[in-house]
């Protein structure tokens, strides 16, 4: 069987302070509109700086709202964090150079980053 290696992304890929996209802001708005119509949901989840909302802030609101809408979500296999707990990760003083994932992943002349298993 052919095995194709898929590299990790660099630590710098994670930025929970990135401004929330138009998509996330609309998702938050829609949930804000829906939640008050849910029987038994008496109050909105604590929201939401609007214009300057970060991805983490949007995610926190969305998690709270989704818990209200779907409290019975069935747990499955644990999600594997891509990077690991950020609070334990020492932050470099300078921004690290992005790793050249593609060059390691495959020959630049062919897309098949493959090897045969033995």
Partner 1 sequence: MPRGLDKLKHIVVLMMENRSFDHMLGGLTAFDPRIDGLTGSQFNLDTTGKQVLAEPLAKFQGQLNPDPDHHFAAVDLQIFDGDASAHRVPTMKGFVKSYFNQQHDVKQSRKIMYAFAPAKLPVLSNLALEFAVFNSWFASIPGPTLCNRAFAHYGTSFGHVGMELWYANKQIKSMYERMLDEGLTSKLYYFDQASSSLEVVNLLRDQPRIFGTYPQFLKDCADGTLPDYSFVEPNYSDHEGDAGALVANDQHPDHHVGEGERFIASVYNAIRQNPVLWESTALLVTYDEHGGIFDHVPPPACTPDQFFAQPDKTGTGQPFFFDRLGVRVPAILISPWIPKGTVVGGRTFEHASIPATVTDFFIGSFDARSPREKDAETFLDLLSLTEMRTDAPLFRLS
User: How many residues bind to partner 1 according to rule CB under 8 A?
Assistant: 70
Q: If DSSP codes are grouped into helix, strand and coil, which group holds residue 87?
A: helix
47 forms part of the interface with partner 1 (CB under 8 A) = no
* Spatial separation of the C-alpha atoms in residues 33 and 42, rounded to whole Å: 13
Secondary structure (3-state) at 74: coil
Closest contact distance (angstroms) between CB of 71 and partner 1 is 8
End-to-end CA distance of the chain: 9
- Cα distances from 83 to residues 12, 44, 91, in angstroms, run 10, 32, 13
- The answer to the question of residue 7 lying near partner 1 (CB under 8 A) is yes
Binder to partner 1 among 40, 90, 92, 108 (CB under 8 A)? 108
What is the binding site for partner 1 (CB under 8 A)? 1-10, 13-16, 18, 20-24, 26-27, 29-31, 33-34, 37-38, 55-56, 58-60, 62-63, 65-67, 69-86, 98, 101-102, 105-114
């Amino acid at each position: 069987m052919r095995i194709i290696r898929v590299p990790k992304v660099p630590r710098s890929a994670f930025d929970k302070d990135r401004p929330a996209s138009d998509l996330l802001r609309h998702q938050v708005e829609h949930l804000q509109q829906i939640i008050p119509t849910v029987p038994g949901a008496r109050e909105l989840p604590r929201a939401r700086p609007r214009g300057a909302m970060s991805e983490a802030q949007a995610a926190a609101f969305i998690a709270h709202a989704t818990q209200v809408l779907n409290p019975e979500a069935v747990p499955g296999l644990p999600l594997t964090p891509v990077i690991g707990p950020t609070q334990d990760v020492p932050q470099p003083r300078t921004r690290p150079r992005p790793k050249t994932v593609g060059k390691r992943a495959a020959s630049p002349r062919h897309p098949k980053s493959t090897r045969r298993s033995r």
